Structure 1
Amino acid sequence: MKLEALSQALCLLPVFLPLASGAPTRRDGNSPMRGTASLAGYSPSENIATGLKPDIKYSLLPGQKENADIGTYLDFENVENPQPIRGSKGGDDPGPRNYYYDRINSDKLAPPGTDHGQTINAQWPLGLSRNRLGIDNAGWARQENTVVMPDATEMAGVDMRLEPAAYRELHWHLAAEWALVLNGSCRIQAVNEHGETFIDDVQAGDVWFFPAGIPHSIQALDDGVEFLLVFDQGDFDEDNTFLATEVFLHTPKSVLAKNLGTSISAFDKIPDDELFIFKGTPAPEDIEKQNVTTSAGIIPRTESYSYHFSEQPAHEVAGGSVKIIDPQTFPIASNFSAAVVTVHPGGMREIHWHTTSDEWTFFIRGQGRATLFTAPDDATTFDYRSGDIAYFPQSSSHYVENTGDEDLVFVEVLQAPQFTDVALGQWIASTPRQIVADTLNLSESTLSQLKTEKQYVVAGTTSD
């Protein structure tokens, strides 16, 4: 700015005088932070400035030019200025906005024309959950429950990491715990109400289950471990777990001594706070050295708390694969049923719903999207990434489509004694053609292409 112009600009600034309190005021008595009453409402001298239209530069993806009801996935990942436009719907957005969220949630910014009304929020990224850190760099844990997903009332989840030799300290809780090892390996241990003992080493892909109230511990082996915990209470809170340290801290030492047959001084060095996640002595390589037994013996194999799911072969289908675990093969987890699903690029977990349970889903790898449909006519499409949680209420239809260029892997968890679902394709194909044609006005050639068997995962084929 030239010196003359700067001088003129400074002359236009209001002059302030100090008050006794030190707060400035203008000569006209008005606060410098407020205007005058003359600015309210209509003014004959009011002038609207010209040239206020934002200069928005953008280009549309091919799918944005299609009819909105086609609902092609819009990959905004590398789009500089994605816009909320599909076909004849929507309009440009000059901001303010969070471009990062818009790029990874294209179906929120520009939803398919088939979305309608408002369903529950069926998505929670664990990356938005507070990460509770263990001591001495021993690990961390972050959770999802009804605090962040109010409608996910039947199940809650925790993603936990333990560094090598680190423990999740001895504990129990009111909820039953179902776990899937995501990577690494660990040693799990428990004692049941009969005094029967259990110990086992599990690795990536394996599952464990501890009934409510059963005390147990988890220690990472040489590679460390990360695991997914699913609880059968939507309001479960990891911070409300019953911990061994807290039991000892909040029971009179004289009572502890009497109960355990020791001296009071034996408890002089117990921790002065909970340990939660901490490092300890590495577990011996030979698990037999830790195989403590009582007169009751060990937990029978038919009631085992672990299942080596990693060794179960997947059922291969056209668009990917499916592995199912439920009480038929893992009876101790009497109301937990799950499927680990792999969807190849372009494929999708077929449209389905579960008749007896809500579905709690965790995305392990890749990216995808799903449309949740709830009666009578609400539908919302969500975009998911690794580390996200999805929640689909009982009998509400949904699919999961792979929208990336690598395999999409996720686990579906049900509160049910058997893993079952109803598939849209099988239902329509197994209904008399006349009924379907009269209802949906589908052609005979279309009906002849439908399959009477469940597909589970369909390949990524498209047609006009």
Structure 2
Amino acid sequence: MDNSGFELHEETPPSPSVKMERKKQEHPGEKKSRWSLLNIFLVCLLACAITTVLGVLVLSLVYTANTGFKPKYDASSQKHRAASVGNSVTSAQVDPKFQFLHQLAKAKKHEFPGGTIQWSRFRKNANEYQNKEEMAFGRSINAQRSKMTFGTLRIKSKGLRAPHWHFNANEHGYLLKGTAWIGVVDAGGNTVTTYNVTAGQVIFFPRNTVHWLKNVGTEDCLFLLFFTTHEELQTLDLDDTFFLTPEDIAARSLKPQGGVAFIRSFQRQAEDQAVNLPPNLAELVQNPNYQQSEDPLVWRYFFDLKGSTEFRFPGGIIQFARYVKDGKGLSTNERIYSEFLHSKEDALTLGTLRIYSNGLRQPHFHFNANEMGYVISGCGQVGIIVSPSLTTDFTIGVGDVVFFPVGTQHYIKSTCDEELVFILAFSTANQLQTLDMDDYFHRTPDHILAQLFFKKQDEFKKIPHFNEDQAINLP
């Protein structure tokens, strides 16, 4: 070989000292070279470590600058949290009132062949909000874990809200106008409950219960719907599940005449049929039957709110579709609804609030429920106190949705010549617990109030007691 380093030596091996001397002669710079490579490696390793540390510090500074993160609690961070109510848009970006107000009348209309749906809800994808105000409301009801979402459902004459069910919410509905035929399929499919509803009545569908709504009148039906979730509502329609099921599986399950060929004869429509109304309905359907089931079945899912007890006050009227312990004051049918409602997790209390012109639903708060309401008619002013650092008031009109988190004091005043009317939902299936301003003032000793407000004790005798409850009062 040319390279002496790879030569074979068959003679007697040299001594160790000779080997060392030979190595020095053959590779005089090898030791120095090895140390140079090690030094280069160590320098590179140190450089990488320094670069990594600097990168982390830069990213941390950028994150802090963008988010305003404070690693330590202080009053200013608490004020910022209150002003934003959890994850909602900060007050620097949008008026704080929109954490409690959504102008649903201006919201996107989801159009279907048989009607329209509009939403006041939380969306995971921020791009699905129309504007910052809508985002503030959606994030607010989510951050407060309100267990409420609201929507309006308009069904044209003869239109059908397709049979469907909701994974993550019970549904409570109020029919504002029209006439509808409702169907509910119980677990196991052994019982189908059908019934008719007219304006002013309440319907209830427990989570994961298949149900449909059919307009059987000549005018549009308008449903005001509350769902017991502050997350995105998860729904499956019957037609979607059918077309997403493999043909052979559907054929084997349904066992129709013609088998798979019959299943293949179904054609999926290009337009979403969530609210369905075929143009050739007359030739498709002959002699429809809109029968009503027996009362004990119907009254589990139905409540005649317009015919229920009226709680009258000087300035207005309240009516409730709710659970009442031991059924006290309820009719036989109302008691069926009350007990069925109470048996379901996360059910709601529904009610209508009617405030006469210039009437005031005085400042109050609820111990055990968030509140959400939709303005049916009239106009008014709302005020809400969330914390000493967050108070707001705003005007409301038809189509607006309001939200009051549990424990927050709020008032509602009618400011039009006509009555202000709401449909309200409260996130409790128990009896609603409420405290009005006049009640907690009257129950606090005068000497405590005098000390608190720097006012003579006798001055508080000027606050009168009334025989009639002043929850809704007139001047």
Q: TM-score range by the shorter chain?
A: 0.5 to 0.7
Q: Which moved more, 1:211-220 or 1:150-159?
A: 150-159
Query: Of residues 305, 308, 311 in structure 2, which corresponds to 1:309?
Result: 305
The aligned counterpart of 1:450 is: 464
1:133 is displaced (CA, Å) by 1.0
Q: Does residue 166 of structure 1 match 2:159?
A: yes
Q: State the one-letter code of the partner of 2:377.
A: R
Q: Distance in 1 between matches of 2:184 and 2:287?
A: 17
The aligned counterpart of 1:276 is: 274
Query: What TM-score comes out, normalization by structure 2 length?
Result: 0.66
Query: Of residues 177, 199, 207 in structure 2, which corresponds to 1:183?
Result: 177
Q: Distance in 2 between matches of 1:209 and 1:271?
A: 32
Q: State the one-letter code of the partner of 1:249.
A: F
Q: Contact 1:187 / 1:201 at 8 angstroms: preserved in 2?
A: yes
The aligned counterpart of 2:355 is: 343
Q: CA RMSD in A?
A: 2.4
Please list every run of 5 or more consecutive structure 2 residues that lacks an aligned counterpart in the other structure.
1-94, 124-133, 325-333
Q: Distance in 1 between matches of 2:362 and 2:391?
A: 17
1:221 is displaced (CA, Å) by 1.6
1:118 is displaced (CA, Å) by 4.9
Q: State the one-letter code of the partner of 2:199.
A: A
Q: Does residue 142 of structure 1 match 2:118?
A: yes
Q: What do the CA deviations read for 1:407-462 (whole angstroms, capped 9, x no partner)?
A: 00012211112223111111111222222233233764553433377422111x1x
- Rg (Cα) greater in structure: 2
The aligned counterpart of 2:387 is: 375
1:376 is displaced (CA, Å) by 3.1
Q: Contact 1:146 / 1:235 at 8 angstroms: preserved in 2?
A: yes
Q: Distance in 2 between matches of 1:143 and 1:404?
A: 26
The aligned counterpart of 1:287 is: 290
Q: Contact 1:177 / 1:209 at 8 angstroms: preserved in 2?
A: yes
The aligned counterpart of 1:225 is: 221
The aligned counterpart of 1:4 is: none
Q: State the one-letter code of the partner of 1:141.
A: I
Q: Contact 2:305 / 2:320 at 8 angstroms: preserved in 1?
A: no
Query: Of residues 324, 328, 333 in structure 1, which corresponds to 2:341?
Result: 333
Q: Contact 1:367 / 1:404 at 8 angstroms: preserved in 2?
A: yes
Q: What do the CA deviations read for 1:378-423 (whole angstroms, capped 9, x no partner)?
A: 2001211111000111100000011111100012211112223111
Distance 1:269 1:454, change over 3 A: farther
Q: Distance in 2 between matches of 1:283 and 1:423?
A: 56
Q: Distance in 1 between matches of 2:110 and 2:187?
A: 30
Q: Distance in 2 between matches of 1:399 and 1:268?
A: 58
Between Structure 1 and Structure 2, which shows a larger proportion of helix residues?
2
Distance 1:265 1:427, change over 3 A: same
Q: Contact 2:193 / 2:297 at 8 angstroms: preserved in 1?
A: no
Q: Contact 1:429 / 1:447 at 8 angstroms: preserved in 2?
A: no
Number of equivalent positions: 333
Q: State the one-letter code of the partner of 2:115.
A: G
1:300 is displaced (CA, Å) by 4.0
1:269 is displaced (CA, Å) by 3.5
Q: Contact 1:325 / 1:419 at 8 angstroms: preserved in 2?
A: no
The aligned counterpart of 1:249 is: 243
Q: State the one-letter code of the partner of 1:418.
A: Q
Q: State the one-letter code of the partner of 1:275.
A: Q
Q: Does residue 208 of structure 1 match 2:203?
A: yes
Q: Distance in 1 between matches of 2:341 and 2:223?
A: 17
Distance 1:315 1:299, change over 3 A: closer
State the identity as a percent. Answer: 20
The aligned counterpart of 1:129 is: 107
Q: Which moved more, 1:257-266 or 1:118-127?
A: 118-127
Distance 1:359 1:212, change over 3 A: same
Q: Contact 2:373 / 2:425 at 8 angstroms: preserved in 1?
A: yes
Q: Distance in 2 between matches of 1:270 and 1:349?
A: 54
Q: State the one-letter code of the partner of 1:200.
A: Y
Q: Distance in 1 between matches of 2:407 and 2:427?
A: 13
Q: Does residue 437 of structure 1 match 2:450?
A: yes
The aligned counterpart of 1:112 is: none
The aligned counterpart of 1:88 is: none
1:301 is displaced (CA, Å) by 4.0
Query: What TM-score comes out, normalization by structure 1 length?
Result: 0.67
Q: Distance in 2 between matches of 1:436 and 1:221?
A: 59
Please list every run of 5 or more consecutive structure 1 residues that lacks an aligned counterpart in the other structure.
1-116, 292-297
SS in 2 for 1:345: coil
